[in-house]
Amino acid sequence: MPRHFDPQLVNDRFGDAGLYVDLVFQRRAVLFDLGDHANVSPRKLLRVGEIFVTHRHMDHFAGFDSLLRLLIGRDKVLRIFGPPGMIEAVEHKLKAYTWNLVEGYDGNLILRVTDVDETGHMSAAEFQGRSRFVRADCECPQYDEGVVIRESDFLVRAAMLDHGMPVLGFALEERMELNILRNKVESLGLAVGPWLRGVKEAVLGEAAEDAPITVAWLDDGGGRPVTLPLGLLRRDLLKAGPGRKIAYVVDCAFTPENEEKIVTLARGADILFIEATFLDADCAIAAARRHLTARQAGWLGRKAGAKRLVTLHHSPRYKGQGDLLIEEAQRAFLSG
């Protein structure tokens, strides 16, 4: 399991699809899909800063109201990303309630909603409690290669899949894993401490090589410099490795176009969370409903070179036989 991402399915595999990912060390979490989230404690939901909604079938979005109820009156910015129509959907949800008292609340809840289209172009709007949640369109940064958010240490990529309608698949990627070489720190006479976090942040923020970093010496410093250049610290104290990656794919048909997009999105993922809605014996039903079978899910994970496969979104017709779906997917994942 990726050390810096702690992913947990929101429900059992027959329940509404959803994935809660705690971004360990950041006091922050992201959520993929917003269906029934009664199993997630309010404390954990309050950590969520971003929600990535694959599409607006009810089992993926009906949790909006209960989350809004939890957050209302709090000082918080919540970002919601979804396929085209997301902004309008949130606007309609908010219009369903009367907000004459919301301006008087202590906290100003801000919902920043982004539509992502099939070319990766994004448009955004904001809804503030202080303004009674009246829509205000806003500027939105645009990135290449399907990236929808780019933070200093992680990014989220999206791909538009076909489920008879547009559905987004997502990948959460640590941009780079940086490890501090503690023995090197001490051999230079420096103290291990919180200042090293600043070195990592400066590297991830792509600061200049000569950017001065305030250091902590083991003794009182003895006249040594208060700062050292970032380039020197990076070279001597840090070891960089590829970042961790999680992919989340639900509700899509087994088509050549989807296959190519899923394999690209999930390539090399540490964990691929993917729907396994039907058994392969029922592949005709899966095709008609534009869902994946367990075997197809496993095969896609294998083709993407994912290290681990976790299936979800099982059809209720297999209740009591969930093991069959898991086994079928794992068999295809491990042996093709």
Which residues are near Zn ion by CB under 5 A? 59, 251
E strands, the chain, in order: 5-9, 19-23, 28-32, 48-52, 76-82, 109-116, 122-128, 135-138, 147-150, 154-162, 166-174, 177-180, 212-214, 227-229, 238-241, 245-249, 271-275, 309-312
CB of 164 to Zn ion, least distance (A): 12
Residue 258: its H or E element:
helix 256-265
CB-nearer residue toward Zn ion: 59 or 115: 59
CB-nearer residue toward Zn ion: 50 or 59: 59
Q: If you count DSSP H runs as helices and E runs as strands, how many of each does the chain have, helices first? A: 11, 18
Place of tokens 């780019």: 150
CB of 327 to Zn ion, least distance (A): 22
User: Residue 72 burial by CB count (10 A; 0-12/13-18/19+): exposed, middle or buried?
Assistant: middle
CB-nearer residue toward Zn ion: 112 or 314: 314
CB of 90 to Zn ion, least distance (A): 19
CB-nearer residue toward Zn ion: 10 or 122: 10
Q: Which residue is nearest to Zn ion (CB)?
A: 251
Q: How far apart are CA 299 and CA 307, in angstroms?
A: 13
CB of 156 to Zn ion, least distance (A): 20
CB of 69 to Zn ion, least distance (A): 23
* Residue 294 token pair: 């367990």
Q: Is 8 helix (H, G, I), strand (E, B) or coil?
A: strand
Nearest to 195 by CA among 216, 223, 209: 216
Q: How far apart are CA 305 and CA 291, in angstroms?
A: 21
CB of 313 to Zn ion, least distance (A): 6
CB-nearer residue toward Zn ion: 110 or 247: 247
CB-nearer residue toward Zn ion: 212 or 322: 322
Report helix angle 256-265 to 294-304, nearest 10. Answer: 50
CB of 16 to Zn ion, least distance (A): 8
CB-nearer residue toward Zn ion: 86 or 110: 86
